[in-house]
């Protein structure tokens, strides 16, 4: 797939998943970019402000976690692996207030590999993976970072079996 077709696939597929979560509609989350390795989501500031007028920490945590979850969903879909995907744990660091629209980038954490993840999934039916997600500031640097661990569990081909 070209980058443009990856983006179109991601937009169609993720839109359906995100539309099933009422809070993502309230946050007005949209796909910004997907190149096969990095997924970027964005959301306008207005529905995501806190009492101080900058980005609400809960919105940032939700957007970063969804970017990570969406990346795992898209990667496994591309590998034709039918899995349930859950976030297991995460650590978020709030580094600076964000006064603009929210952007979240998600990619593999250092030392992780999609090949090893897929091989473990095939062999054991479940596998874990760490992603690193960040919300950049317009002026450079990050408003916050999130390190998250996801678990994928293969769906049974025949639930009655």
Residues that bind a copy of itself (CB under 8 A): 17, 20-24, 26-27, 46-52, 56-59, 61-63, 65-66, 84, 86-94
Identity of the residue, 30 or 49, whose beta carbon is nearer to a copy of itself in the bound complex: 49
Question: Closer CB to a copy of itself, residue 1 or residue 21?
Answer: 21
Question: Distance of CA 152 to CAs 23, 88, 96, 112, 144, Å?
Answer: 23, 10, 32, 15, 25
State in angstroms the smallest separation of the CB of 101 from a copy of itself. 14
Closest CA to 98 of 132, 149, 61, 126: 61
Pick from 60, 73, 56, 61: nearest CA to 15: 73
- Closer CB to a copy of itself, residue 1 or residue 23? 23
The least distance separating a copy of itself from the CB of residue 146, rounded to whole angstroms, comes to 10
């Amino acid at each position: 797939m070209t980058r443009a077709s990856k983006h179109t696939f991601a937009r169609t597929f993720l839109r359906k998943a995100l539309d099933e979560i009422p809070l993502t509609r309230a946050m007005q989350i949209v796909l910004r970019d997907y190149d096969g390795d990095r997924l970027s989501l964005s959301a306008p500031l207005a529905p995501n402000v806190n009492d101080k007028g900058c980005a609400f920490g809960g919105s940032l945590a939700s957007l970063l976690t969804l970017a990570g979850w969406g990346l795992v969903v898209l990667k496994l879909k591309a590998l034709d692996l039918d899995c349930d995907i859950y976030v297991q744990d995460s650590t978020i660091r709030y580094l600076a207030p964000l006064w603009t629209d929210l952007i979240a980038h998600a990619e593999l954490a250092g030392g992780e590999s999609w090949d090893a993840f897929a091989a473990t999934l095939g062999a054991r039916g479940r596998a874990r993976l760490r992603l690193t997600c960040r919300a950049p500031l317009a002026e450079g640097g990050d408003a916050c970072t999130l390190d998250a661990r996801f678990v994928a569990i293969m769906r049974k081909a025949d639930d009655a079996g």
